[in-house]
Structure 1
Amino acid sequence: MSEETKQYAVDLTRLDTAVYRATNSVGASIEFGSGEGLLSPVELLLAAVAGCSAVDVDVVTSRRAEPESFDVHVEGDRVNEDGASRLSEVRVGFDLSFPDTPEGNQARKLVDNLIRISHEKDCTVSRTVENPTRVLFSNDSK
């Protein structure tokens, strides 16, 4: 099995108590935390799972026809195991609508297979969540 490596990174900056900004190398950013009106870190994880497969499906279907609607719902069950919490199951549901045209019908027919391929091969986020992945922490505090 050959393995290619591409590194991703974000920097996290504290804006206020439990409010943070994540910024990538090109300057795109998102604020999140436990403050009112913010996505929580778990919700960001869910958004990443849904977003990764949404991109996979969108890029291919949009070449055939522009969707009339493109909605993805994702939810997860938080469980507590001996005082440690995690998500036990994440469910992703697509609700897409394409025009009633030959191109729209072609796009519609691709959706199930594209979701399957994204889940099994292309979506780095869901595949990472499903597989054991080492998470290493360090403390460079001064």
Structure 2
Amino acid sequence: MSDVVKGKVKWVEGEQFIGRIEGDQCSVILGEGGISPMKLLLLSVAGCTAFDVVMILKKMREPIKGLEIEIEGTRRDEYPRIYKEVTIHYRIYGNVDEKKARRAIELSQEKYCSASAHIKLSGAKVNYTLEIIPES
């Protein structure tokens, strides 16, 4: 089964563009006054893995109360200026077992997160760190 995604980007003026995926409710401003496509790619990786980790920990019946992800990417100097290294910091809130949290992250990074897979296929090294903030 093939999943076809359609979208459209329209030049507004100057260096500003609006992008929208068919069937989605929101639009994205690209360029001037908005986000650059490469920054959006980085946020896509963070959003993709965040979704995976929350769903996997819920399936594991872990008491996750929250998740924040900080992501940092370093790009090549030469064109195309793709990411050469990405670091993802997972901050998980709740009395979550660290071993299960690491397993959820590994499953996301090795199997489920398509956005991370795209970054890795371009040759980027993807690292991660984990911090668990237990409930008092």
Which TM-score band applies after superposition, normalised by the shorter structure? 0.7 to 0.9
Query: How many residues end up aligned between the 2 structures?
Result: 121
Tell me the SS of whatever aligns to 2:105: helix
The residue aligned with 1:125 is 115
Tell me the SS of whatever aligns to 1:7: coil
Q: 1:16 to 1:65 in 2, by over 3 A?
A: farther
Q: Which consecutive residues of structure 1, in runs of 5 or more, have no partner in the other structure?
A: 133-142
Kindly report structure 1 stretches of 4+ aligned residues shifted beyond 4 Å.
Answer: none
Computing the radius of gyration over CA atoms, which structure comes out larger, 1 or 2? Answer: 1
CA drift of 1:34 comes to 2.6
The normalised TM-score by structure 2 is: 0.74
Deviates more, 1:14-23 or 1:43-52: 14-23
Q: CA RMSD in A?
A: 2.3
CA drift of 1:85 comes to 2.2
Q: For 1:97 and 1:49, how far apart are their aligned partners in 2?
A: 20
Tell me the SS of whatever aligns to 2:119: helix
Greater relative contact order: 1 or 2 (C-alpha under 8 angstroms, separation 6 or more)?
2
Q: For 1:90 and 1:40, how far apart are their aligned partners in 2?
A: 17
The normalised TM-score by structure 1 is: 0.71
Q: Is the 8 A contact 1:32 1:41 kept in 2?
A: no
Determine whether 1:53 maps to 2:43: no
Alignment of 1:97-136 (within 5 A): 97-98=93-94, 100=95, 105=96, 109-131=99-121
